[in-house]
Structure 1
Amino acid sequence: MKNSLMNGTVGTGVALSLGLLAHGAAAENLRLLTWGGYAPENVIEMFEAETGHTVEVTKSNNEEMIAKLRATGGGGFDLAQPSQDRIAGPQAEFGIYKPIDLDRIDSAQFIGSMLAATKANTTVDGEVYGVPHVWGTSGLVLDTAKAGMVKDYTDLCGADTAGKVSYRLKRPTLIGFAFSMGMDPFAAYGDPAAYTEIMEQVEAKLIECKPNVKTYWGGGDELMGLLRSGEVVASMAWDTGGWKLNADNADITFVAPAAGALGWIDTFALPAKGKADDAAYDWINFVMRPEVSALITESSGQFTASQGADEFASDELKARFQASFPPEAIDNIKWYPPVPAGLEAIEGGVLDRVKAAN
């Protein structure tokens, strides 16, 4: 696949038919502020050859991205890739981004539910400031031969898995259990009293569930060891960890919970003082082509919001992804919205009390 992409037999015709790239426009230098693996060298070479633009990559993370853009008032870069829950707050406070011109985005290339969720979560004063790129989830990682009855987060408290369950004492566990108990914690983000009431119910459930827990895992390697050894047969964990275990043991894999996996999305956002908007929009439309996005999945280990990109992934990864995420499971992902001030203090108190409970 990579060779056919590099010599232009795949994808170039798609770009010509779409007519979205800036043919005839002046070539620009795109200063990209992104995560490791999101702009692999082979993709950059393809983009530069097709568009005439050049790409200058600075690797970063959410905290550093925001700090760099704050320091310059949104200058120094033409395209950034913060997570979707790190856009609305910094934009409202610091004005470090400019709105996305959605008419310049080929929306058909995006998974619709992810595009809608990201637009909603990055809207400030009626303007959209982000569209989705790379995403991942947490949900259930199960030994399906021994814990096939586990379909949702609260099933981790069932008698069939007593003593062989693990999850982290972190906020994703609180959020996941709330959804599994029929509540919507994200809808209560703007109401501290309502959120506290939800968290109190989750606290009671997690204390009730303590006898089922083998251990509260702290790191991914620890959990992988517990699942490989059979000490744990059902857990809350990330999709990529489940797929990695599946490569060694066909019975262990990631399962999207009935209440919905919990999803994060890293976006495309335009810094306020970016100078190469043409190149930025060209890059977005280029890397969202499914066959190009598959190369980014190969590089980063994460899937993208490109519609149909899983078809171009390796046979093994495609099979694992499609088994874990039929279309209805993707549409049921609960995407993390921006966290209002004060909520993490509420959650911290709940986690401390669960940990201390007998």
Structure 2
Amino acid sequence: MVSRSTLKASAAAAVITMVAAQGANADTLRLLTWGGYAPEAVIELFEKETGHTVEVTKSNNEEMIAKLRATGGGGFDLAQPSQDRIAGPQEEFGIYKPIDMSKIDTSQFITSMLDATKGNTMIGGDVYGVPHVWGTSGLVLDTNMAGAVKDYVDLCSDEFAGKVSYRLKRPTLIGFAFSMGMDPFAAYGDEDAYKEIMSKVEAKLIECKANVKAYWGGGDELMNLLRSGEVVASMAWDTGGWKLNSEKPEVTFVAPSSGALGWIDTFALPAKGKADDAAYAWINFVMRPDIAAMITDVAGNFTASKGADAMVSEELKVKYQKSFPPADVDNINWYPTVPAGLEAIEGAVLDRVKAAN
């Protein structure tokens, strides 16, 4: 018969072994992500539950690609590029590695969104991205002063000279193309057709320069321009409009008549990442509905987590419904995968617009 003291000793040894194993397997997750996607409260819960630690580097699409390209996919263990920034850069630079879907708890994802992202990031049968946060960009307006703005091209109306703002980035090129009656996404497979569309957009943006108070580079900069009244109409993300709406009810996000631009930020594994186990653990952790709702309440955008929308704040749900009646949701232009080479065309256009008098 085994004595009680022997059982206690065995149990204690088992606990010590388990803790030691956890320590041995605990890695530091080097996360390359957007602001708001890894709130401190979420990190603390993750570290406590898994034993992994998290180091966050905040970035954006352009910087993510540049950082990973410079290192051949090194320096980070998990990145969060938009889904249209995976297949092209991977084929061109080889900066990611395939995702092992057997290590992903797919039951936590909205099925249609998971399937779409898998399809858009698939190369040679391998999946390179799964969805996390999604949202749109469109118009953020002072509805008292700029209620006449219904689409992107309306920002160029003489009525709003010196009172508008947008970024010199590709979403502006895409948005203006749609509002000018063209479909840039349909031209993705035809470089000559895409160059023709971009040429027309370039001319329009140069013509519109006199209306631009400032080309904003960061969200805080734009927020301050709208708060002060220096800018009454802008291109921006839905979350920016919703945040300002809490301060100034007359300012809000409006879906343009040609369609808001829809994006999905993903999880992707850098090619030379060294902590895959921690990366998969983070993905599965933050896609839990309760954790995903915490991220939405901080970031302001909804996630691909199934059931998380029911757990977000009532205030955010109301703002979303006002900005997106069903017809405007159906009218969203979702970004497809960007073919290799198109960003060079866009970059040249943006450089010429910036340099134009």
Q: Describe the SS at the equivalent of 2:181.
A: coil
The Cα shift of 1:194 comes to 0.9
Q: Describe the SS at the equivalent of 1:146.
A: coil
The Cα shift of 1:197 comes to 0.8
Cα distance in 1, alignment partners of residues 234 and 328 from structure 2: 18
Cα distance in 1, alignment partners of residues 75 and 166 from structure 2: 41
Paired position in structure 1 for 2:4 = none
Paired position in structure 2 for 1:56 = 53
Matches within 5 A, 1:131-146: 131-146=130-145
Amino acid in the other structure paired with 1:118: T
Cα distance in 1, alignment partners of residues 190 and 216 from structure 2: 30
- CA gap 1:90/1:253 in 2 versus in 1, 3 angstroms: same
Q: Describe the SS at the equivalent of 1:132.
A: strand
Paired position in structure 1 for 2:338 = 338
Paired position in structure 2 for 1:149 = 148
Paired position in structure 2 for 1:250 = 249
Cα distance in 2, alignment partners of residues 279 and 210 from structure 1: 47
Matches within 5 A, 1:58-77: 58-60=55-57, 61=59, 63=63, 67=67, 71=71
Q: Deviations over 1:280-339 (max 9, x none)?
A: 444323311222112123444544332443432333333333333456645624326336
Q: Describe the SS at the equivalent of 1:139.
A: strand
Cα distance in 2, alignment partners of residues 151 and 113 from structure 1: 30
The Cα shift of 1:188 comes to 2.3
Stretch of structure 1 that moved more, 329-338 or 74-83: 74-83
Q: Which runs of 5+ in 1 are unaligned?
A: 1-25
Paired position in structure 2 for 1:218 = 216
Q: Describe the SS at the equivalent of 2:236.
A: strand
Cα distance in 1, alignment partners of residues 110 and 259 from structure 2: 17
Cα distance in 2, alignment partners of residues 354 and 41 from structure 1: 37
The Cα shift of 1:279 comes to 5.6
Paired position in structure 1 for 2:313 = 314
| Residue 49 (structure 2) pairs with residue 33 (structure 1) | no
Cα distance in 2, alignment partners of residues 272 and 66 from structure 1: 14
Q: Describe the SS at the equivalent of 1:253.
A: strand
Q: Deviations over 1:129-168 (max 9, x none)?
A: 1011134442100112333332321233446646643333
Contact map agreement 2:300 2:316 (CA 8 A) in 1: no
| Seq. identity, % | 65
Q: Number of residue pairs matched? A: 328
- CA gap 1:56/1:182 in 2 versus in 1, 3 angstroms: same
Q: Deviations over 1:102-147 (max 9, x none)?
A: 4554445434564344323322123211011134442100112333
Cα distance in 1, alignment partners of residues 205 and 94 from structure 2: 40
- CA gap 1:150/1:75 in 2 versus in 1, 3 angstroms: closer
| Residue 263 (structure 2) pairs with residue 269 (structure 1) | no
Amino acid in the other structure paired with 2:348: G
Cα distance in 1, alignment partners of residues 304 and 223 from structure 2: 27
Stretch of structure 1 that moved more, 57-66 or 133-142: 57-66
Q: Describe the SS at the equivalent of 1:148.
A: coil
Q: Which runs of 5+ in 2 are unaligned?
A: 1-20
Q: TM-score, normalised by structure 2?
A: 0.74
Contact map agreement 2:134 2:302 (CA 8 A) in 1: yes
Contact map agreement 2:139 2:256 (CA 8 A) in 1: yes
Cα distance in 1, alignment partners of residues 83 and 39 from structure 2: 22
The Cα shift of 1:69 comes to 8.9
Cα RMSD of the aligned pairs, angstroms, is 3.7
Cα distance in 2, alignment partners of residues 224 and 47 from structure 1: 32
Stretch of structure 1 that moved more, 242-251 or 254-263: 254-263
Cα distance in 2, alignment partners of residues 327 and 100 from structure 1: 34
- CA gap 1:109/1:161 in 2 versus in 1, 3 angstroms: farther
The Cα shift of 1:89 comes to 4.0
Cα distance in 1, alignment partners of residues 326 and 284 from structure 2: 23
- CA gap 1:109/1:150 in 2 versus in 1, 3 angstroms: farther
Cα distance in 1, alignment partners of residues 206 and 270 from structure 2: 45
Paired position in structure 2 for 1:202 = 201
Cα distance in 1, alignment partners of residues 65 and 155 from structure 2: 37
**Structure whose CA Rg is larger:** 2
Paired position in structure 1 for 2:239 = 240
The Cα shift of 1:41 comes to 4.6
Cα distance in 2, alignment partners of residues 226 and 66 from structure 1: 29
